[in-house]
Structures are given as structure tokens and as C-alpha cells.
């Protein structure tokens, strides 16, 4: 069978995808697009690609392309995803899926209409440690999970985006754009969020026009509860933390430390056991490999459009809650 052709639009984060996706068994990189002509030329030379263009319409029109990886700023995800579906392509869209619940709904509807696969690139689900944690949460090792806590801590002061889009509230919201990592991770362990209560404030990044510090209390189904912290202006290093509390054990880890910790009921005096962590270096390649497998073998992607939409909807429920002084707000989970 011929390999599927991958085309990537947006060559900053997209360049990372390129570097990691050079040796996939069932797909190959065939096309790039960016409005920055220099970047396009540099990437084409480095990877010797048949299609390299500054015009997205040209990328989606190419017969060589089967999968479009939308790796542009958040406000372009909707338009480029719809165009790709209209041209008969499958779409892997960077996180967050889109800016609003309505945009997510349009993307879900388009995937259904054109019968194509849609996956949201929530890359944490392909980090080896988070994968292991998920296995232990669901194979009985930790018992019944009753509490999950995640955080996304990333100072964005020096990362406004190529034209400052990250500080434009029309183009990106902190809780959706960055916070989706922590919300998605919490949802992966806890399931659909039923209600949210949130508080937020704004002591950092003055040019960021929305609150940049968030805390969310989550109620999942089956009496499970959760907590999410998101900060875009914090005075501390980047990190994504995860705690999973179960009736037989507790797991504490993150995506930057060399080890994680687990405490199990059987262990005398509840000592923490140090768990060495596998490298996370190939997460982007695993993510694309999974998506290709879903296309080739007609499977549902781990984070399909509906799942990606629920994460954005959870963030919007939190934004509404914060505006209402922490009131409980129901999350839209029907798409």
C-alpha cells in the first residue's frame, strides 16, 4: 500500500512535527505551507519535499497530500480545517481544537459531513509517563480513581507568537490555548466534566488582556472530583503536573522531572516509590503514528473532534464561572 502523504501548515510548532515524523511506517511528509517564504524554502531544502508553498489552497489542492496537519495559530484552526475537509483530506489539528464551542461544533460537523478523520493534537496523551499513568489508573493498580489534579504552568511573557497573536483576546484565550493541556489531561483520567467552579486573576503579563491565573474545581461523573491550575504569567519554570488519587494508591508526576512517585496501599507506612520515567522525546511521532493508524484501520482517534470540543467547552464553562464569582456552571458535552 502506498504511504499516506502528510502536509503541514504553520512551520514553527509544525517544524517540530516534521523533525519527529521523518520515519513513519505508513506515512511520509510531502508538503509544507507557511506565509513566511523563508521558512518554506528552508524546510523544503532540508526535507526535499515535492510541495512547498505560501498558499494554503495550493497545499490542500495537492493530490500528494492525504493528511493536513494544521499547526497555525489558534484562530486559523477552524478555517484551515474546513478547507482541508472540503478538499477531501483528513485533519490533525494542533491544540486547542479551536477558540469557541461554536467553532468546535462546525469542525465536528464537517468531519461527519465529509466522512474524514479529525484528531486534536493533545500531545500529552502520547508522553510515555502520562500513558503509563493512564494504564495504572485503569488496570486496577491505583484502585478506583476518585481525585485527579493537573496543572499547566508556562510563562508566556516572551512567547507572544509570530505576530503577537497570543496576546490578542480575539485570537487566543490563556485558559483555552494553554490550559487545554491540563484540562484534557484531567478529562482523560476523570472522564467528562459535568460542572465547573473557577476563579481567576491577573497579576502578570500586562499586555495579556485576559486573566492569566486560573484555578478550576471539577465534578466528573461517578462522584470523581478534580482540580486544574493554569498559569501563563507565573515566576517559575514550565511544567505540566499530574496527580491521580485512587483507592489503592496515589501517583504524582510531571512532564519535566526525571522520575515520578507512586505510593501503594501494600507498601509499609505509605512511602513514596521513585519511578524512573521513559523519554518523552518521540511524543509527536507517536501522535502522528496513532492518527495514521486510525486512518489506515478505520479507528476512532484517541482525541477525536468530539473529545477536543469537550475540552474547549470545559474551559468556557470555567470562564463563565469565574465571571459569575465561582458559580457552578454545567459543561456542554453533546456535540
Ligand X SMILES: NC(=O)c1ccc[n+]([C@@H]2O[C@H](COP(=O)([O-])OP(=O)(O)OC[C@H]3O[C@@H](n4cnc5c(N)ncnc54)[C@H](O)[C@@H]3O)[C@@H](O)[C@H]2O)c1
Residues lying near ligand X in the complex (CB under 6 A):
9-13, 33-36, 39, 56, 71-74, 76, 94-95, 121, 123, 161-162, 177
CA-based radius of gyration for the chain: 20
3 state DSSP class of 190: helix
Contact 282, 175 (CB under 8 A): no
**What's the min distance (Å) between Cβ of 175 and ligand X?**
13
C-beta of 81 vs 197, nearer to ligand X: 81
Element (H, E) at 198: strand 193-201
- Counted residue by residue, the chain has a size of 335
**What's the min distance (Å) between Cβ of 287 and ligand X?**
9
Contact 50, 30 (CB under 8 A): yes
3 state DSSP class of 205: coil
C-beta of 140 vs 164, nearer to ligand X: 164
C-beta of 158 vs 235, nearer to ligand X: 158
Greatest distance between any 2 Cα atoms in the chain: 63
**What's the min distance (Å) between Cβ of 122 and ligand X?**
8
Element (H, E) at 329: strand 329-330
C-beta of 178 vs 249, nearer to ligand X: 178
C-beta of 233 vs 246, nearer to ligand X: 233
**What's the min distance (Å) between Cβ of 77 and ligand X?**
7
In b/e form, how buried is each residue of 32-55, taking b as 16+ CB within 10 angstroms? Answer: bbbeeeebbebbbeebebebbbee
C-beta of 66 vs 94, nearer to ligand X: 94
**What's the min distance (Å) between Cβ of 81 and ligand X?**
12
**What's the min distance (Å) between Cβ of 283 and ligand X?**
9
For ligand X, the nearest residue by Cβ is 12
Amino acid at each position: 500500500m502506498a504511504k499516506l502523504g502528510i502536509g503541514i501548515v504553520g512551520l514553527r510548532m509544525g517544524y517540530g512535527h516534521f523533525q519527529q515524523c521523518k520515519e513513519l511506517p505508513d506515512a511520509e511528509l510531502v508538503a509544507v505551507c507557511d506565509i513566511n517564504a523563508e521558512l518554506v524554502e528552508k524546510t523544503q531544502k532540508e526535507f526535499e519535499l515535492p510541495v512547498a508553498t505560501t498558499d494554503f489552497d495550493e497545499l490542500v489542492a495537492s493530490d500528494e497530500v492525504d493528511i493536513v496537519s494544521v499547526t497555525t495559530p489558534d484562530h486559523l484552526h477552524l478555517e484551515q480545517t474546513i478547507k482541508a475537509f472540503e478538499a477531501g483530506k483528513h485533519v490533525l489539528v494542533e491544540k486547542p481544537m479551536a477558540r469557541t464551542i461554536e467553532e468546535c461544533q462546525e469542525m465536528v460537523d464537517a468531519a461527519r459531513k465529509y466522512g474524514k478523520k479529525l484528531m486534536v493534537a493533545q500531545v500529552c496523551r502520547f508522553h510515555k509517563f502520562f500513558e503509563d499513568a493512564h494504564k495504572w489508573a485503569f488496570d486496577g493498580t491505583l484502585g478506583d480513581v476518585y481525585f485527579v489534579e493537573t496543572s499547566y504552568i508556562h510563562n508566556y511573557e516572551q512567547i507572544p507568537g509570530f505576530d503577537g497573536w497570543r496576546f490578542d483576546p480575539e485570537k487566543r484565550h490563556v485558559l483555552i490555548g494553554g490550559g487545554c493541556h491540563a484540562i484534557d489531561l484531567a478529562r482523560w483520567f476523570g472522564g467528562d466534566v459535568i460542572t465547573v467552579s473557577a476563579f481567576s486573576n491577573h497579576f502578570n503579563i500586562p499586555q495579556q488582556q485576559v486573566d492569566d491565573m486560573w484555578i478550576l474545581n471539577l465534578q466528573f461523573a461517578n462522584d470523581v472530583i478534580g482540580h486544574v491550575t493554569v498559569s501563563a504569567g507565573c515566576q517559575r519554570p514550565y511544567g505540566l503536573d499530574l496527580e491521580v488519587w485512587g483507592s489503592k494508591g496515589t501517583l504524582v508526576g510531571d512532564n519535566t522531572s526525571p522520575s515520578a512517585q507512586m505510593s501503594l496501599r501494600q507498601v509499609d507506612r505509605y512511602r513514596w516509590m521513585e519511578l524512573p520515567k521513559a523519554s518523552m522525546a518521540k511524543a509527536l511521532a507517536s501522535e502522528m503514528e496513532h492518527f495514521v493508524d486510525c486512518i489506515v484501520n478505520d479507528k476512532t482517534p484517541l482525541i477525536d473532534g468530539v473529545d477536543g470540543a469537550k475540552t474547549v467547552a470545559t474551559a468556557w464553562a470555567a470562564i463563565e464561572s469565574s465571571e459569575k464569582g465561582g458559580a457552578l456552571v454545567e459543561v456542554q458535552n453533546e456535540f
